[in-house]
Amino acid sequence: MGSERPTSRVSAGALATQLREVRRRTHRLVEDLSPDELTERSGGGRPLLWRVGEVGWFHEYWTLRHVHGEAPLREDGDRLWKPGDQVSSPLPDLETTLGYLDEVLKRQLDQLERSNLGDDVRYFYDLALRHEDMQVEALTSSRQILGCQPPDLGDIATEGAGPYPGDAAVPGGPWRLGASPQDGFVYDNEKWAHTVELAPFRIAQAPVTNLEFAVFVAEGGYRRSELWSDSGWA
C-alpha cells in the first residue's frame, strides 16, 4: 500500500505534534463565535458548527475506525457529519462538539504511542491532517463571509508585508506536472507526474492584496472591457 499511497514518512511523534497544532487552530477559529454565528449557513450550505463536527468525524472514521478498528464514539456520528448527507438538525452544541474532537484526538495520540506506524497507517493520519487543514481554511473564509470578527490568531509578522508589484516572465517549455511517489503525501488528483508543454507567459510576482483589489473596483475595473478576456467579460 505504501507505494500506491505515498506518505509524509514522519514519525509518530511528529504526527502527534501536527495533530495538536491543527486542533489548536480549529479551536481558535470557533470558540469565540455565538450560537447564531455557528449555525448560520455559509459556503456550501453548511453551518460552521457542522464543519467543526465533521473535522472530528473524519479523523475518527479514517484513523480510529478504519485503521485501528475501534467502535464509533457516537451512534449518531455518521448521520450527523458524514459528507454528502443532509445536515441533521439539531446539531450538538459547540461545547459538546469540541469535546468530541478532544476525545478523538486523545484516542489518536494513545494509538500513535502503541501502534505500529507503517505506511498504511501513516497515510490515513496524513489524510485526516490535510483534511483539517482545508477545513481551517474554510472556517476562516466562512467567518469573513458571515461578517464575524477576525479571529485572534496571535502575533502576526508585518515586516515586509504589503504589495509586491511586478510580473515574472516564465519562458515556457516542458514542465513536470504532478507528484511522484518520492514526494510524500499527495492526494489522488496529484498522481502521477508527467510532462506538459507550456507556452511562454507572465504572472504576477505575488497575490493581489486587498488594497490593490479595492483600488481596482473603485476605478471601475468591472466596467472596463479592455481589462478582461472575452470569456472573462462574458
Assess if residue 6 is contained within a domain. no
Q: How would you write the pLDDT of the chain (234 residues) with one tens digit per residue?
A: 334 677 888 999 999 999 999 999 999 999 999 999 999 876 567 899 999 999 999 999 999 999 999 999 999 999 999 887 666 668 999 999 999 999 999 999 999 999 888 988 999 999 999 999 999 999 998 898 888 888 776 666 667 777 788 999 999 999 999 988 877 787 888 888 999 999 999 999 998 888 889 999 999 999 999 999 999 999
- Residue that finishes a domain, picked among 145, 175, 193: 145
Residues 43 and 135 in one domain: yes
Residues 124 and 171 in one domain: no
Residues 182 and 129 in one domain: no
**Count of structural domains, the chain:** 2
- Residue that finishes a domain, picked among 145, 180, 198: 145
Assess if residue 161 is contained within a domain. no
In the 3-class helix/strand/coil scheme, how is the chain assigned residue by residue? CCCCCCCCCCCHHHHHHHHHHHHHHHHHHHCCCCHHHHHCECHHHCEHHHHHHHHHHHHHHHHHHCCCCCCCCCCCHHHHHCCCCCCCCCCCCHHHHHHHHHHHHHHHHHHHHHCCCCHHHHHHHHHHHHHHHHHHHHHHHHHHHCCCCCCCCCCCCCCCCCCCCCEEEECCEEEEECECHHHCCCCHHHECCEEEEECCEEEECCCCCHHHHHHHHHCCHHHCHHHCCHHHHC
Report the predicted TM-score, pTM, of the whole model to 2 decimal places: 0.76
Give the CATH number for residue 24.
Answer: 1.20.120.450
Residues 140 and 191 in one domain: no
Assess if residue 162 is contained within a domain. no
**Domain range enclosing 138:** 12-145
